[in-house]
Amino acid sequence: AQKITQTQPGMFVQEKEAVTLDCTYDTSDPSYGLFWYKQPSSGEMIFLIYQGSYDQQNATEGRYSLNFQKARKSANLVISASQLGDSAMYFCAMRVEVMGGGADGLTFGKGTHLIIQP
């Protein structure tokens, strides 16, 4: 069974600083996808970034980048130049691809509560 571990329950960061949110995963399957979602206090789940297990380069989306270290099974999210609006819960998730093309949903970590201070 797959597992996602986020070891930082909470983080305080000064505005404009870069932030790294840790995520490690465990799976024996070679084909998988890694996702990061943001959940602000309003509750919705907002997709941020995706990394496929066969991708050669780290994914980037605007201020978000994913530091993918496959051998270490880590997929840390990096937010550059943090803003007050980045304050939220952040969830790392993984989807393992079942042979034959099936999908069994996402496995989520417990999240990191990020607070950006002015």
Partner 1 sequence: DADVTQTPRNRITKTGKRIMLECSQTKGHDRMYWYRQDPGLGLRLIYYSFDVKDINKGEISDGYSVSRQAQAKFSLSLESAIPNQTALYFCATSDLALGARSGGTDTQYFGPGTRLTVL
Q: Which residues bind partner 1 (CB under 8 A)?
A: 4, 31-33, 35, 37, 43-45, 47, 50, 52-55, 91, 93, 95, 97, 101-111
For the bound state, the minimum distance from the C-beta of residue 81 to partner 1, rounded and expressed in Å, comes to 24
Buried b (16+ CB within 10 A) or exposed e, 38-48: beeeeeeeeeb
Q: How far apart are CA 104 and CA 54, in angstroms?
A: 19
Sign of CA pseudo-dihedral 110, 111, 112, 114 = negative
CB nearer to partner 1: pick between 71 and 103: 103
C-alpha dihedral (43, 64, 77, 11), degrees to nearest 10: -60
CB nearer to partner 1: pick between 9 and 118: 9
For the bound state, the minimum distance from the C-beta of residue 37 to partner 1, rounded and expressed in Å, comes to 8
Taking the mean position of all CA atoms in its chain, how far away is CA 87?
Answer: 15
For the bound state, the minimum distance from the C-beta of residue 94 to partner 1, rounded and expressed in Å, comes to 11
CB nearer to partner 1: pick between 3 and 16: 3
CB nearer to partner 1: pick between 18 and 45: 45
For the bound state, the minimum distance from the C-beta of residue 40 to partner 1, rounded and expressed in Å, comes to 12
Name the one residue in this structure whose structure tokens are 């270490």. 72
